[in-house]
Amino acid sequence: MYDLIVIGAGPAGFTASIYASCFGLKNLVIGKMIGGQLSYAPDILNYPGFEEISGVELTEKMLNQAKKRGGEIVMDMVYEISKIEGGFHLKTQDGKEFDARTIILATGVERRKLNVPGEIEYTNKGIQYCATCGRFDYLQSVAAVVGGANAACQTAAQVAHSAKKVYIVYRSSELRCDEIWKKHMVEHPNIEMIYNANVVEILGDGQKLTKIKISIKDPSASSLQTKELAIDRLFIEIGGVPGTALLIPLGVKMDPGGFISVDEKLSTSVAGVFAAGDVVGHRYSIEQITSAVGSGARAASYVFSFLKQQIAPTLWGSSQIKRN
């Protein structure tokens, strides 16, 4: 039986494994996709220690570090968790079964996709799902942001600082962001709203995207108009779906947004089940790599305390410094 099984092989999951190994806990990481959403980041400029690094490179470094510290990694998908005496029993799609005394769910948030032609082909070739993670080389470029909530407006404002034009493409007739953001969008000279519109196709030259095709509904005439926009960047900000369904049969409580409800120790409503990363409520996550790794470390620390009934040691290099 493992001391800990981490479900999710992204920044939070790998960090939890690294710290668990340093605490002397036998641990296993199970993830259907190594790196998770991190793998989609073309270039990351706001992760301490690296002036610039791709999501794939950072994923590889985290994976190798987790393995080096003693964590086991299995690329698979957990589909069932059940309670057993002294812990939990997990089943995977590949027919494997594992037992663990504790669990950390770190499955993150799956970014909603447009699911239109060209989206897969031009992801990381002009299409981005996170403006704050990447390179800020928008000078004199033309960009489009899909979405109408706060995240979309924040992205539009950020990009518009240097881009010569930013379109907000939104499916409804009015933005659903906070009033302060609505006012900012309307007053910004570089931002243009296109309401009642949907992206229907993403086009490019094979190397990068060059334009999008949108369908605009005329509410008064009940007709559709198709239009093409020549752009350099497309930011898709239509929210995400937390990977929490796995814990519902255990009775783990969720918040109104479908994220896992945790206390200050990242413990869920079920003893022995913890959560880390973007899958927890916004009180503890800002959907950034840095917050994910921080919560992964904290979750592993609290797992140690739960199992050993003592405060986790402070880790620094190869030493374990006891707290007073």
Domain identity same for 232 and 271: no
Which residue spans within the chain are E strands per DSSP?
2-7, 27-31, 72-75, 78-84, 87-92, 97-105, 109-111, 127-128, 142-146, 165-169, 191-194, 197-204, 209-218, 223-230, 233-236, 240-242, 273-275, 314-316, 319-321
Domain identity same for 134 and 231: yes
Task: Quote the pLDDT of residue 106.
Answer: 94
Domain identity same for 63 and 17: yes
Q: How far apart are CA 191 and CA 144, in angstroms?
A: 9
Which of 175, 210, 236 is a domain's end point?
236
Q: How far apart are CA 264 and CA 23, in angstroms?
A: 20
Closest alpha carbon to 60 in 43, 78, 38, 32: 38
Domain identity same for 58 and 79: yes
Which residue segment(s) compose the domain that 290 sits in?
2-111+239-321
Among the listed ranges 90-94, 207-211, 218-222, 317-321, which one has the minimum average pLDDT value? 317-321
Task: Quote the pLDDT of residue 7.
Answer: 97
Task: Quote the pLDDT of residue 141.
Answer: 92
Domain identity same for 201 and 264: no
Domain identity same for 101 and 245: yes
**Do the Cβ atoms of 128 and 134 come closer than 8 Å?**
yes
Which of 216, 236, 256 is a domain's end point?
236
Give residue for tokens 């299995």: 74
Task: Quote the pLDDT of residue 321.
Answer: 54
Domain identity same for 49 and 127: no
pLDDT band at 316 (very low <50, low <70, confident <90, very high): low
Domain identity same for 66 and 213: no
**Do the Cβ atoms of 143 and 192 come closer than 8 Å?**
no
Domain identity same for 93 and 134: no
CATH number of the domain enclosing 302: 3.50.50.60
**Average of pLDDT values for 303-310?**
94
The tokens describing 4, both together, are: 């800990």
* Percent of the chain predicted with pLDDT > 90: 62
Average pLDDT, the chain: 89
284 pLDDT above the threshold of 80: no
258 pLDDT above the threshold of 90: no
Task: Quote the pLDDT of residue 244.
Answer: 80
Containing H/E element for 89? Answer: strand 87-92
Domain identity same for 197 and 229: yes
310 pLDDT above the threshold of 60: yes
Number of domains in the chain: 2
Task: Quote the pLDDT of residue 112.
Answer: 81
**Pick the residue with more confidence: 317 or 198?**
198
Domain identity same for 93 and 133: no
Domain identity same for 105 and 141: no
**Average of pLDDT values for 247-261?**
87
Which of 236, 266, 296 is a domain's end point?
236
Q: Is the pTM higher than 0.85?
A: no
**Do the Cβ atoms of 27 and 17 come closer than 8 Å?**
yes
Structure confidence by residue, pLDDT tens digits, 121-165: 998 889 987 665 555 567 889 999 999 988 899 889 889 988 999
DSSP string computed for 232-249: SEEEE-S-EEES-GGGGG
Structure confidence by residue, pLDDT tens digits, 27-59: 999 998 898 878 777 678 788 999 888 888 999
